[in-house]
Amino acid sequence: MNDHERFILRVEGDAKQSTSAAPPSLPGASAPPEKGSSLGRGRILIVDDEQGIRRFLSYGLGLAGFDCSDVSGGSEALSLLETQPFDALISDLRMPGTSGLELLKGVREKHPRVAFLMATAVDDVRVGIQTMKAGADDYLVKPFQLEPLLSALNRAIERKRLEKEVENYRQRLERMVDQRTGQLRVANKRTEQAHDETLEGLSAALDMRHNETAGHSRRVTRYCLEIAKALGCSSKQLKTIARGAYLHDIGKIGIPDAILLKPGKLTEEERAIMETHVRIGYELVCSIASLAGSAETVLTHHERYDGTGYPQGLVGDEIPQSARIFAVADTLDAMTSDRPYRRARPYSAAREEIIRESERQFDPKVVKGFLAIPEEVLEAIRLEVANPHARVRIPGSGGTSSPSNGANDRWDPPIELDAVQGNASPRLKREQAQSATGR
């Protein structure tokens, strides 16, 4: 009996007895084949420049249940891989033209899921290590022994199967994470919206308790946002600034009505009590983690750039930027809105006053940002707030604005501003002195 006949007999015997335990599967993976099925069997590509070896392997592996194709060189193998799927490839190491290592490199680059077994007549462990480092799944030594060959082939195919399961499982997890992240993002957005609506309702309640002019707070909030954008503030900063404008007077909830609603001028003692509203408001707001940045505006919105404000007498950049922006917006609206004791003044008068008070009441950088805003934009805001159901065209926006149109409208709650509450410029103070209701 020659070698070929002995090999065939071994193959036939092994094919009858070839069974193995089911490998473990990952969660969510398909169940492995039952015992007695063609576990690990698949399509095999044999690459060798010797036709006898190709036939030898094709016949033997075919009896073991594999579907085999064979080619004589690496270039042909790469071309065939582009058109047909294979589970594993057995390649000779040394071949004319494209060598086994070159073929291995090409297969790993374009077909990483194909198991690759390198075969050579050189029984040198260093060669085996080199091929394994290059990406081969196993190393076979000629002449082939059936049992080691089948074991190595099944092992390599099973390894690739598990790798594919792991990759599929990872992709499923990523899709689940993406889906859950999207759902969480939507939930957070809804929560934040509900949170802001609650703040808006609170501000509206305070406004109803003590409100000198309708729409005052909405205008000032919009003015703050326009100035902040002119200064290059980020969207996160805009949100903080807007929330601070929402809640700057929330501390007045702790001021007695006898002082808060007094029709006449306040006494020094009453004014001292009134000034405590900034600290009351700060303590209320800073206890809410999401409003920590806005709490600074609540505390410092009566500070003046020259250090003559209250409660801390901060100077210059010691005052948070949000409060410095608020001071300009507050004065703009106070001067250009009707008051019980006077008619609204024109924009030019407010502009002149803000320029005059630069470096005293106001931060000159904020004043510069304010002056960069076209008057038409500020006028459009005033008209929009006066008629919340109208669609007002804002110059340079390329469209119209309404309460339901535009990201900034999210920050338009009714709040009361207090430019005439002891933090006004000298001109405003002179105007206040003409009225018994100034405060």
d(CA 55, CA 8): 12
∠ CA 194-195-197 to the nearest 5 degrees?
A: 65
Residue-wise over 408-430: b if at least 16 C-beta within 10 A, else e? bbebbbbbbbbbbbbbbbebbee
Q: What string of pLDDT tens digits covers the 439 residues of the chain?
A: 544 445 545 544 544 444 343 334 333 333 333 333 334 478 999 999 999 899 989 998 998 999 999 999 999 999 999 999 999 999 998 899 888 999 999 999 999 999 999 988 776 677 778 888 888 988 888 888 888 899 999 999 999 999 889 989 999 999 999 999 998 888 888 887 777 777 766 666 666 665 554 577 778 889 999 999 999 999 989 989 988 887 888 888 888 989 888 888 899 999 999 999 999 999 988 888 778 788 999 999 999 999 999 999 999 999 999 999 999 999 998 898 877 677 889 999 999 999 999 999 999 999 999 999 999 999 888 888 777 554 434 344 344 443 333 333 333 333 333 333 334 444 444 444 433 333 4
∠ CA 329-424-382 to the nearest 5 degrees?
A: 30
- Tell me, what's the pLDDT at 396? 41
Q: Do domains 3-16+39-163 and 192-433 have the same CATH topology?
A: no
**Rg of the Cα atoms in the chain:** 40
Any bridge partners for residue 402, and if so which? Answer: 405
- Tell me, what's the pLDDT at 415? 33
Peptide bond into 413 cis (omega under 30): no
What number does CATH give the domain 192-433?
1.10.3210.10
SS3 label, residue 116: strand
d(CA 226, CA 231): 9
- The architecture of the domain spanning 3-16+39-163 is 3-Layer(aba) Sandwich (3.40)
Q: Where are the domains of the chain?
A: 3-16+39-163, 192-433
Rounded to two decimals, the pTM is 0.53
Whether 77 and 45 have beta carbons less than 8 Å apart is answered as yes
Angle of the 321-336 helix axis to the 364-371 helix axis, nearest 10: 50
d(CA 175, CA 193): 27
DSSP state of 346: P
